[in-house]
Structure 1
Amino acid sequence: MTRVDFHSKVQDKILYSCRLIRKARAANCEILVLSEDAEQASQLNRALWSFSASDFLPHVMLADPLSTQTPIIITTAFDRALPHHNVLINLSQRLPENFTQFARVIEVVSQHEDDADSARQRFRLYQQQGIKPSHIVAAS
């Protein structure tokens, strides 16, 4: 069964996601990041290139021909076959399609009320699917 973790009260979703991605890569996980929109995907793309001087976090957009060979993929929609099903980091305010195909889903929730409201709805939807999500409050 898919493991779901909610990380809430995140000040900066992009920076927080970079940390999560670095940690997951250190554990040799393959990661797919679902962004809210193209702007957020672009911000994450730029941040991953400059996040750490000592860590290389190879990543591409899902449409890139190298996506099947790259451990970190950024997308705004599951509009094509997904090469990885290990970890899904959800930055969007929607329930990811076919989330059950992933071993783990990490929901990153900001301090903004609209983001928190949609996260509460997703939390309940996961529960209705028989999943017991965990909840982690991000350190300030």
Structure 2
Amino acid sequence: MTMVVFHLGVPDKLLYVCRLLRKASRQGARVRVVADEVECAQLDSALWTFEPSEFLPHARYDPAKVPHPSWSHTPIWLTQKDHGWPDVVPPASVLVNL
């Protein structure tokens, strides 16, 4: 069954999303984050720095790059809203729309 959850009014959206992605990743979910260009860049940086002792494997979709076979194993994908729904990004069980 499909479930929709809204997370509103959080004081630090980037930190909250990082924690949400960490939780989803620990549960084995494949996640797609859809955001504008600035939010994608900020989230990409935040995922590298929000927790010094952890690493959340993720990739930022870039239509200019040729897909690599290892991309299919990446659990968290950051995609820009203006890039549409690229076929090279694997299906996700969790969608986060910033």
Q: Of the candidates 69, 76, 82, which is equivalent to residue 72 of structure 1?
A: 76
Which 4+ runs in 1 deviate beyond 6 A?
Answer: none
Structure 1 gaps of 5+ residues are 92-140
Give the equivalent residue in structure 1 for 2:10. 10
Aligned residues: 90
Any idea what SS the aligned residue of 1:4 has?
coil
Once the two structures are TM-superposed, the CA of residue 85 in structure 1 deviates from its matched residue by 2.1
**Native 8 Å contact 2:29 2:92 kept in 1:** no
Output the amino acid matched with 2:73. Answer: Q
What is the distance in 2 between the residues matched to 1:62 and 1:69? 14
Output the amino acid matched with 1:20. Answer: L
Relative to the length of structure 2, the TM-score reads 0.81
- Seq. identity, %: 43
What is the distance in 2 between the residues matched to 1:8 and 1:72? 21
Return the structure number with greater strand share. 1
- Kindly indicate whether residue 83 of structure 2 is the aligned counterpart of residue 84 of structure 1: no
Once the two structures are TM-superposed, the CA of residue 53 in structure 1 deviates from its matched residue by 1.9
Give the equivalent residue in structure 1 for 2:33. 33
Once the two structures are TM-superposed, the CA of residue 62 in structure 1 deviates from its matched residue by 2.2
Structure 2 gaps of 5+ residues are none
Q: Which has the larger radius of gyration?
A: 1
What is the distance in 1 between the residues matched to 2:73 and 2:22? 18
Q: After the TM superposition, which residues 83-122 of structure 1 pair with which residues of structure 2 at under 5 Å, given as runs?
A: 83-91=90-98
Output the amino acid matched with 2:55. Answer: F
Output the amino acid matched with 2:50. Answer: F
**Native 8 Å contact 2:58 2:77 kept in 1:** yes
Once the two structures are TM-superposed, the CA of residue 13 in structure 1 deviates from its matched residue by 1.4
Relative to the length of structure 1, the TM-score reads 0.59
